[in-house]
Structure 1
Amino acid sequence: MNIYRELAPSPRTIMTPGPVEVDPRVLRAMSLPVLGQFDPEFTAIMNETMEMLRELFQTKNHWAYPVDGTSRSGIEAVLTSIIEPGDRVLIPIYGRFGHLLHEISDRCGAEVVTLEKEWGTVFEPQEIIDAIQNEKPAIVALVHGETSTGRVQPLEAIGKACRELDVLLVVDAVATIGGVPVKTDAWCLDAVIGGTQKCISVPAGMAPVTYNDRIEHKIAARKRVERGLRASGETDFPNARPQIQSNYLDLGQLQDYWSPARLNHHTEMTSMLYGLHEGLRILLAEGLPARFERHRLNERALVAGLEAMGMSLYGDPSCKMTVVTCVTIPDGIDGESVRAMLLNSFGIEIASSFGALKGRIWRIGTMGYSCSMKNVLHLLGAFEGALLRHGAKINAGAAIAAALDVYEGSAKTAAINA
């Protein structure tokens, strides 16, 4: 008889662009007793979660709820629910996850038009607006914050142009929601997808989404056509094939489930919803302005420490993400060996990168619960030690001093990191 060991994961300081450390209060909430999915106590939790998501997304949209599954499930739910075969979809790509939007849209039968920008930069909004006017897409799908390159795309002018031109704008805000302002209504964003495992600091497993009446109308129109075809006896759905391909990720069915009617669609992930509810409660209790300022402060301290050490940052600084810092690996240094030492000797995890940037940069996340003065100082000290052990020529002792200067110069530090 096999005797399997009890799980005892090692404690880590997680400084990647996701997943990040989870607030202990969230883990405690996830251990609470399970309720039935139609128990009034549970449906009250569902309703409160929707209210909190509206605050987080800064929207008055009726629809704001989590899709069960990791962040990609939310992206697929939105795109597969609104893209009909033949729809022209414009996708500006400036990193790895723009290519993901391309792949999903292509699988939906879209006519995909792409713009590409060198990694480490973003688009001038007018470049995208010009492409919208020239290509006349039905939908624009765009990443807000690219964790692969550490860059953030300005959205406000693009959103307003899409609204004027009657183009739907879908935004992947998985890496930014909860750490960087995402102003759904003010920026005229039609659908926004978030993620739990980054700045919200809840385990991966839910994808919060919000969308407005413009998106809902397209979903409803597709449902009407599908019902009409079925009623007429059509079974092969020729030509346009208007039906939504996924049952599980069908926003039309999901919104029925999250509506007061509670039409049964799936069994809700009870414990995950507890975790999301608690994560959102913690986030909103901190307050969005204070939370955004905490992320900015810890980023400034991290960057000051890295630069004082003599490290070079990757990418255009004018569009740097607050919550992800990309560091150029010095010539002659084995980046994976440094990462292994940080993990094995110091219990700290940072990330490598993808594609053309693999082996060229490290990516350091300062997200949610992981975004703290303690973690930044711990990382800088360990990073210095690991680099010295690998023979890198750095300014020993300068990093922590520079970071402390930033913290001590901020009158808000004590309150923000309390």
Structure 2
Amino acid sequence: MRGNQPLHIPVRTIMTPGPVEVDPRVRQAMSHSILGQFDPAFTSIMNETMQLLREVLQTKNEWAFPIDGTSRAGIEAMLCSVIEEGDKVLIPCFGRFGYLLKEITERCGAEVTIIEKEWGQVFEPEEIIRALKKEQPKILAMVHGDTSTGRMQPLQEIGKACRELDILFIVDAVATVGGTDVKTDEWFIDGLITGTQKCLSVPSGMAPLTYNERVENILKERKSIEQGLITERSEVNVKRRIKSNYFDLSQLQDYWSPARLNHHTEATAMLYGLNEGLKLILEEGLEQRFERHRVNEQALVAGIKAMGLTLFGDEASKMPTVTCISIPAGVNGEQVRRMLLDEFGIEIASSFGPLAGKIWRIGTMGYSCQKRNVLLTLGALEAVLIASGVSVHRGEAVQAALSYYSEALKEERAVL
């Protein structure tokens, strides 16, 4: 029995596709005193966080704020606030999280059409554009980077087509914002959702999102219907109500507006953490941050290949924040993961659905995306595979990564 012993948390090096290690400055920020949610000092932090989000999400949208809850909370808030019963929604699926969008949109009462790609591949933009013209949906909802397969879908041409066809474009960018380029306005994204626990390097618990006036117009219309229900409860109007209270963006928008209409008690310490995490991103610089993620990913890939392991999926569409490795034949992937955790304190991930037991997934995200972590992970993985009887090219993985870092540094100095 533990009795009254203090909580003990083991030290870990987290190299999963989320959650990731939290920047020490974020942890320090979250330890500050709690303020009341209407204290001017706190509402000032709210306003500042909205501006920081606009910069990180590369948007001029008026509305950019976090939902209290995990990334899925933000996805549900966006979808349930925009989708009315009977709306046609098209969802391209190339991994687990496209099917999550399908489940949520169906729960909203949408008429959902999905198009599918084999896991490990992504769509050519023209494939999706053809489906848009054929189905003529109200909304295209899709994932930017699906961590279950480690693939990233190009969006710019798709967003442009959506705008030309007057289709709302809703994007799950949970695993990409802060780790690779995501241009909300330039890619014609109407509503975008991300999460704190991945490339933002903040604990799980908030889902920042942004939306433009095209989405806001829908919120205004549905809100007016909601208010009109007091005197006019027609069947059509009842169906058009936003079903959720907590995830109603029109009410949340009122809370984040200067009116500060009470909706819920804000997650004070989480907002401190998000505020600091966004400042860290902007201090580093977006381009510099994306380059850091790219360099560490490429060093990891060089080491994996030098070890004699095989990457999973089409490399042309690989996410720069997630590396998927095919588990060698005859190897128990879970035993390898457990030994990495028990002996080295390093956590990597397995996968889901058709890829369960077939691949490992290594994340290089946010604060976890460090040269030290990459080298430690490569050395530890090699050691565990050798102990498990797997034939690998001994001693080559870390050397290949070091060689890549050396060449990258030379290129950086040449540019400077």
Q: Give per-residue Cα distances to partners, 1:269-328, cap 9 Å, x unaligned.
A: 000000000111111100000000000000010000000000000000000000000000
1:311 to 294, 309, 322: 309
Contact 1:170 1:191 in 2 (8 A): yes
Q: What is the Cα-based RMSD across aligned positions, in Å?
A: 1.4
**Please, which runs of 5 or more residues in structure 1 have no aligned partner?**
none
Partner of 2:46: 46
Deviation at 1:399, TM superposition (A): 0.3
Partner of 2:398: 400
1:366 to 364, 376, 382: 364
1:264 to 262, 265, 270: 262
TM-score normalised by the chain length of structure 1: 0.97
Distance of 1:240 and 1:102 partners within structure 2: 23
Deviation at 1:226, TM superposition (A): 2.1
Partner of 2:340: 342
SS in 1 for 2:208: strand
Partner of 2:280: 282
Q: Which moved more, 1:238-247 or 1:213-222?
A: 238-247
- 1:29 has 2:29 as partner: yes
Specify whether residues 293 and 71 from structure 1 end up closer, same or farther in structure 2 by C-alpha distance, changes over 3 A only.
Answer: same
Amino-acid identity (%): 63
Distance of 1:225 and 1:283 partners within structure 2: 40
Distance of 1:378 and 1:414 partners within structure 2: 24
Partner of 1:11: 11
SS in 1 for 2:394: coil
Contact 1:19 1:198 in 2 (8 A): yes
Partner of 2:218: 218
Distance of 1:17 and 1:229 partners within structure 2: 44
Deviation at 1:127, TM superposition (A): 0.4
Partner of 2:292: 294
Partner of 2:244: 246
Contact 1:199 1:367 in 2 (8 A): yes
Deviation at 1:413, TM superposition (A): 9.1
Superposed counterparts of 1:162-181, under 5 Å:
162-181=162-181
Deviation at 1:348, TM superposition (A): 0.1
Specify whether residues 224 and 306 from structure 1 end up closer, same or farther in structure 2 by C-alpha distance, changes over 3 A only.
Answer: same
- 1:186 has 2:182 as partner: no
**Please, which runs of 5 or more residues in structure 2 have no aligned partner?**
none
Contact 1:85 1:240 in 2 (8 A): no
Q: Give per-residue Cα distances to partners, 1:175-207, cap 9 Å, x unaligned.
A: 001001110000000000000000000000000
Contact 1:173 1:194 in 2 (8 A): yes
SS in 1 for 2:311: coil
Partner of 1:153: 153
Distance of 2:127 and 2:331 partners within structure 1: 38
Deviation at 1:225, TM superposition (A): 1.7
Contact 1:177 1:199 in 2 (8 A): yes
Distance of 1:226 and 1:40 partners within structure 2: 31
The alignment covers a number of residue pairs equal to 413
Distance of 2:410 and 2:79 partners within structure 1: 41
Distance of 1:273 and 1:144 partners within structure 2: 25
Distance of 1:83 and 1:240 partners within structure 2: 14
Distance of 1:59 and 1:248 partners within structure 2: 25
SS in 1 for 2:221: helix
Deviation at 1:153, TM superposition (A): 0.2
TM-score normalised by the chain length of structure 2: 0.97
2:292 aligned partner, one-letter code: R
Distance of 1:238 and 1:125 partners within structure 2: 36
Partner of 1:59: 59
